[in-house]
Amino acid sequence: MDYKDYYSILEVERTATQDEIKRSYKKLARKYHPDVSKQADAEVRFKEVGEAYSVLKDPEKRAAYDQLGANWKSGQDFNPPPDWDAGFEFTGAGFNEADAADYSDFFSSLFGQGFGSSHRGRAQQGQRARGEDHHAKVAINIEDAYNGATRSINLQSPEIDHSGHVYLKQRTLNIKIPKGVKQGQHIRLSGQGTPGMGDAPAGDLYLEIEFNPHSIYRVDGHDVYLDLPITPWEAALGATVKTPTPTGSVDLKIAEGTANGKKLRLKGRGIPAKSPGDLYVVTKITIPPANTEEAKQLYREMKEKLAYNPRSSLGV
Amino acid sequence: MNQSILQGTLIDEQVELSMDDLCCACSITSEWIFELVEEGVIEPINPDQEQWVFTASSLGRAKTAARLKRDLNINTAGIALALDLLEQIQVLEARLGQTSGFVDD
């Protein structure tokens, strides 16, 4: 298992005061919060920072961690020395077990089962309560939103075994993604959350839809955008050009004198839904390279014959 | 392994969520939902009736609000501000995506 340098994760010196650690944690937690940050690894970083803080904010755990020594590097293969925590007294307070299930193996080997002595009891016997709802994200492609799809997703959820220890339970669900979904929408799977207690119903599973980035399309709600490269003569003279759409290519009419960046709307060709979105084709005029004598000659001819000053509006 | 295909309910604009649905889905109390409504973070469709119902967009906002409260310890007014700013960023990014190629991270 890999050693984790909690100090470098929290961007503090090993000699940092508890206040410095707290300030740095708060700053990094805001920076990497998955709802705030757009960074791809934000969620991982956020958890890492939370794990580091749960150790360093607690003077007992920090002292035990420090005892491992300062010579370890993050990522280095690590096994805790036997009886490494002998001689320390722990109150077992400080972290919530449900969160701890998300923490690294490194964390669990040091502070996991048996470290803190008090395990939260799940529930009193004879209680009756609806199970908790679970949440997960499912990433789909734009084409899946047009056609519908079936996705197999792996879920891990912390469970508590008979002896009161937290472990990660794995399960696989095959889920139908209906067509017409959009970014951020949820699919609710009744009864797929935590089982209820007593004869109470199980919780639900909520899946949040996320689109994988596509090489040519962009999605905004139910609308889809495509950049369409066109030549200067197609833009100037008008043309009919082949254009890809998520449902197959179409012939698109470019009007005479089309400007760069013009949005052409293909009504109803966005993501299908009760009120289907539109497909917007954004024109990108691209310039052919002057890499042959013939091409150069054509450009020279244009220069001579077209009295065109693109900077006239600038007054020069 | 479970090979059957599960079909869920798509929570789109037509689906109405009760107070209980929202509480369970976001693991929050009804008292806190009242606070969110008071602060204008979410709005019931029928503010004048006794049994409030909410649309799908409230689900997303309430979930984010609950995470911001839990993870960053932000109060309700701060959450309202953060959500509004995050939404503005989303609108601006969408506008960038419409005109000038892909938005870089």
Find chain B residues with C-beta within 8 A of A191's C-beta: none
Beta strands per DSSP E along A38-193: 134-140, 149-160, 166-177, 186-189
Local structure of residue A219 (DSSP, 8 states): E
The verdict on A128 touching B (C-beta cutoff 8 Å) is: no
The residue among A70 and A243 whose pLDDT is bigger is A243
Specify which of A2-6, A101-105, A124-128, A176-180 reaches the highest per-range mean pLDDT: A176-180
Indicate the residue of B8, B59, B68 with minimum beta-carbon distance to A207.
B8
Is A274 within 8 Å of B98 when comparing Cβ atoms? no
Nearest CA-CA partner of A142 in A210, A190, A91, A72: A210
DSSP of A14-66: TT--HHHHHHHHHHHHHHH-TTT---TTHHHHHHHHHHHHHHHTSHHHHHHHH
Local structure of residue A2 (DSSP, 8 states): B
CB atoms within 10 A of CB A246: 22
Please state, in angstroms and rounded to a whole number, the distance separating the CA atoms of residues A49 and A65. Answer: 15
Nearest CA-CA partner of B54 in B78, B94, B26: B26
Please state, in angstroms and rounded to a whole number, the distance separating the CA atoms of residues A27 and A45. Answer: 13
Let me know: does A177 contact A138? Beta carbons within 8 Å. yes
Q: How many residues does chain A have?
A: 316
| pLDDT of the residue at A194 | 80
Find chain A residues with C-beta within 8 A of B71's C-beta: 29, 33, 46, 50
Please state, in angstroms and rounded to a whole number, the distance separating the CA atoms of residues A51 and A237. Answer: 62
Residue contacts between A and B (CB atoms, under 8 Å)? 102
First and final C-alpha spacing in chain A: 67
- With a pLDDT cut of 90, the percent of chain B lying above it is 44
Which tokens in the block code for residue A158? 């912390």
Is A192 within 8 Å of B72 when comparing Cβ atoms? no
Mutant choice from B14, B67, B71 vs A, greatest count of A C-beta within 10 A: B71
**ipTM tops the 0.85 cut:** no
pLDDT in tens, A240-255: 999 999 999 999 999 9
pLDDT in tens, A273-311: 888 999 999 999 999 999 999 999 999 999 999 988 899
Full-model pTM: 0.70
Range of weakest confidence among A82-96, A281-295, B23-37, B72-86 = A82-96
